[in-house]
Structure 1
């Protein structure tokens, strides 16, 4: 392993690209995950000691709980990276609602390789499916309103692209990928720059084409931001009555996002204010995994 990443095979690369994932980035993530598990000698001491080198088996990837699956092709890339002789046949699609006992994929080939890849593949698949399942719950709560649920940058280091993909698989939408693709003026920026208008002006001068979002905490701040030219406002820690007033005052001059301390129990009330989005960091920082296992066929 040279740190440049696993080369995903051509078939898997096409599938990943179709899903909106960069095959090269997936390869780098798989490489790091395998290196963490196998160590510098790339060795599974248990499987090598207990399983004859020529043994071959078939295994099923099985849901142990109800949920929404995401990351099947990523998991397949792990198996294929460990041994090109492993053949992965997917039995479900990302974004599908699955039930306990459903077979999501069948993997066949050298048994040592199967068991060596098992945990790394499942770690990624379970994590991504957990994010998709959690996102799906928010999507159901917002059904019937115009509001969409958004993710944030509160992601697991190194897994942002996979977790944001999982949000999409669960029916949610993505905000900016990082600090580089959109500008976001938050409270500390306003304090450092001397106000919303000053911060907005400086960003527009430095990066004329960048989208600028502004975090606001009062009606006056919202109106100031819109007058400065902002077309996307983050309404932070506001109760629904105040949000409703801002929606009425801003109209269609900017898109509005509710953010801060949102829960599934309050989602419908916030959506009813007329905001366009609910931003939920918990989609990625607090989603439990979806339990998925690998079982050898007897």
Structure 2
């Protein structure tokens, strides 16, 4: 069973349990239905919604009028369905939950991406996702024009403040990462300009040779909760020698100013956790 199947099956089991008692009151006949948008949005989650219907009755016919990443307007029909009345109504809420939540992520992502489109900054997501929906929400970010950060704790080494404290220093933490996981991307978080200077010393091959240190490529430096003035200083100090990411307290009112510092990436958990579900409805016709 694919990951999508497993996630949708779990959601259906959570909702239907031992059986949909309300749907059992209906004559089980072939009906037609529409999924309609009540507001404008960027659509995402069609695979999950489709699976919700098909896992209950694989004979249900679904004609999607738009696909993931497409923009929809209020009053527009997203999908036309035909099939068992009981199966359609039993899958309705689960299907809409996926569509409404994932479309909300895509919509908010596109909104912020458009705000910084005049800069070179790219918008990144984070690991602040709903449990069980990491893959789905990361896909939704892409639908909105954003870029995925690491998928989880397994595909990238990211050294944050507690890793650095436990290791003793940024240098020791980076050396450890380079020795144990030389083939994985490495991101290092810094909280001050002196820490950033330490990173610049580490990416200098000649300096590493002089200090008898392993030269460890650093893929990105995350400037956490820097003031706007310090972000501008960081961009100037680094001078394109390593990609810079800004994170911490970034929202729609601050993101433009952050992007205009010349930063390469901006990461925010708001696009996956501070979202309002898109208003969609399913109606028999």
Shift of 1:127: 0.5
- Corresponding residue of 2:241: 253
Shift of 1:226: 3.0
- Corresponding residue of 1:96: 70
Whole-Å Cα distance in 1 between the matches of residues 7 and 200 of structure 2? Answer: 40
- Corresponding residue of 2:171: 197
Matched, 1:292 2:280: yes
* Matching of residues 219-258 of structure 1 within 5 Å: 219-229=193-203, 230-258=218-246
Root-mean-square deviation (CA, aligned residues, Å) is: 1.0
Shift of 1:73: 2.1
- Corresponding residue of 2:23: 47
Q: Does the Cα contact within 8 Å between 2:34 and 2:80 map onto a contact in 1?
A: yes
**Paired residue total:** 271
Partner residue of 2:262 out of 253, 269, 274: 274
Shift of 1:277: 0.9
Give CA deviations for 1:181-222 in whole Å, capped at 9, x if unaligned.
Answer: 001111111110001000010111111111110111111111
Give CA deviations for 1:48-91 in whole Å, capped at 9, x if unaligned.
Answer: 12x113x1111001111111111112211111111011111100
- Corresponding residue of 1:111: 85
Shift of 1:272: 0.7
Q: Which runs of 5+ in 1 are unaligned?
A: 6-23
- Corresponding residue of 1:33: 11
Matched, 1:126 2:100: yes
Give CA deviations for 1:224-280 in whole Å, capped at 9, x if unaligned.
Answer: 123223230110111222111111111222111110001111111111111111101
- Corresponding residue of 2:112: 138
TM-score by length of 2: 0.93
Give CA deviations for 1:161-186 in whole Å, capped at 9, x if unaligned.
Answer: 00010000011110000000001111
- Corresponding residue of 1:19: none
Shift of 1:106: 0.7
TM-score by length of 1: 0.89
Whole-Å Cα distance in 2 between the matches of residues 292 and 155 of structure 1? Answer: 22
Moved over 3 A (4+): none
Whole-Å Cα distance in 1 between the matches of residues 35 and 264 of structure 2? Answer: 38
Q: Does the Cα contact within 8 Å between 2:251 and 2:270 map onto a contact in 1?
A: no
Query: What SS class does the counterpart of residue 253 from structure 2 fall into?
Result: helix
Q: Which runs of 5+ in 2 are unaligned?
A: 204-217
- Corresponding residue of 1:11: none
